[in-house]
Amino acid sequence: MTFSHFPHKLLHWYPQNKRDLPWRNTQNPYIIWLSEIILQQTRVAQGLPYFEEFVRHYPTVQELAKAPVEEVLRLWQGLGYYSRARNLHQCARQVSEEFDGNFPDNYKALLKLKGVGQYTAAAIASFAFKEKVAVLDGNVFRVLSRYFGIDSDISSPKGKKQFQELADKLIPSGQPDEYNQAIMEFGALQCTPKRADCLHCPLRDSCYAYANDQVETLPVKIKKTKVTTRAFLYHDIDCGNKKIVKTRGPKDIWQGLTDFPLVEFADPEKIDPENSDLFQELQAFKPLIDYKSEKTYKHILSHQKIFSNFVSLTIASEKLPEVKKWADTKGYQCCDADQLEALGKPQLIVRYLNDKK
């Protein structure tokens, strides 16, 4: 099959099989950008309700730019990869302040926006402005690798360059938006990572991987992310109607989100309140202690496995002035239940709080 037949087949398949998704019914670059950021590392079924909530809260980029970052993080809660939410907010401010609320209308200019990489810039440029620039995501890698029989490592610079050059050759001039949507949708629905539907595939007769029994082995991705294991002991401290919390710093996971004071251990098996300096320090307030450590909360991130236990400490309300003073010296904050509910929190903390209800 020639290069021209490949996009032709996809463009024929797409209208008959595409999902009806709200960001496909517009050329508004703000809506397209919002959907692309939310859907990074996220399944459509999970991302769709978040997209709808963001559009409801912030129908324009200017309104998103004016929102407090804490509010944006709270709305993002549960979606993970919180750096995306911070970049989302910073990019909205950049567009609002530097571009008078209008997204740049070309690929090169879009790349200058905070948190906008090559894929996102190509998606916005082609979907909103019909610029002839090819998108390259996991779905596109998979379709091209299988169909053309490319065994280059898709995580290597050399492999990415090879795929980008091929993708740029294939994209048709008249319908760059439709073609980019088509090849990504084809990878998401037809040429899937596992159990690809080769039996009903319109490209099967000329597909290299199908002909050579390599559907399960392509594409090739050699690079592996090293996963580290971390062990947390959280101290859930109540005094009167206040709870002691902390805002996570800029050099670790969950930046800017709210959790509880914690001590990190070297190994999940070694988590023990009796070996926590913080726990021992809190004994000065003579708290009532409820050991929650028998339940371990496991939380998986792309590069970390986190095992967490909780110990609950209730301090008499008359000691609140002392506790507040102590919290200030530690960099912690005091908040009531309503305040905590409104703050953005790691999903691990949300699960724990829900279990307590």
**Alpha-carbon distance 149 to 299, whole Å?**
37
- List the CATH number of the domain containing 298: 3.90.79.10
Same domain flag for 207 and 312: no
On the question of pLDDT at 212 being above 80, the answer is yes
Same domain flag for 45 and 88: yes
CA distances (Å), origin 179, targets 21, 154, 168, 192, 234: 16, 21, 11, 18, 49
Parallel, antiparallel, or unpaired for β 228-239 and 304-315? parallel
What are the tens digits of pLDDT across the range 97-142? Answer: 999 999 999 999 999 999 999 999 999 999 999 999 999 999 999 9
Same domain flag for 205 and 233: no
Cis omega (within 30 of 0) for bond into 176: no
Same domain flag for 246 and 189: no
CA dihedral 69, 75, 78, 79 (to 10 degrees): -80
What are the tens digits of pLDDT across the range 30-40? Answer: 999 999 999 99
Q: How far is CA 343 from the centre of its chain?
A: 18
Q: Helix count (H) and strand count (E) of the chain?
A: 16, 8
Share of the chain above pLDDT 70, in %: 98
At residue 154, the pLDDT reads 95
**Alpha-carbon distance 137 to 30, whole Å?**
20
- List the CATH number of the domain containing 78: 1.10.340.30
Question: Mean pLDDT lowest for which of 61-65, 177-181, 221-225, 278-282?
Answer: 221-225
At residue 226, the pLDDT reads 85
Q: pTM for the whole thing?
A: 0.77
Parallel, antiparallel, or unpaired for β 288-291 and 258-259? unpaired
On the question of pLDDT at 166 being above 90, the answer is yes
If phi over 0 gives left and psi between -120 and 50 gives alpha, with beta otherwise, what is residue 55? Answer: alpha
| Contact indicator for 70, 344 with CB cutoff of 8 Å | yes
| Residue of 165, 154, 159 whose CA lies nearest to 219 | 154
| 330 part of a folded domain | yes
Tell me the average pLDDT of the chain. 94
Give the count of domains, the chain: 2
On the question of pLDDT at 1 being above 60, the answer is no
Full domain range(s) for residue 62: 5-211
Model confidence band, residue 77 (pLDDT cutoffs 50, 70, 90): very high
Same domain flag for 179 and 245: no
On the question of pLDDT at 15 being above 60, the answer is yes
Contacts of 353 (CB under 8 A, 6+ apart): 340, 345
Same domain flag for 166 and 64: yes
On the question of pLDDT at 3 being above 90, the answer is no
At residue 294, the pLDDT reads 61
Strand blocks (E) in the chain: 228-239, 242-247, 258-259, 262-265, 288-291, 297-300, 304-315, 333-335
Contacts of 305 (CB under 8 A, 6+ apart): 227, 228, 229, 230, 298, 299
| Contact indicator for 105, 129 with CB cutoff of 8 Å | yes
Tokens linked to 51: 């997209």
| Contact indicator for 273, 291 with CB cutoff of 8 Å | yes
| 69 part of a folded domain | yes
On the question of pLDDT at 260 being above 80, the answer is yes
From 36, 131, 178, 185, the catalytic residue: 36
- Is residue 97 annotated as part of the catalytic site, yes or no? no
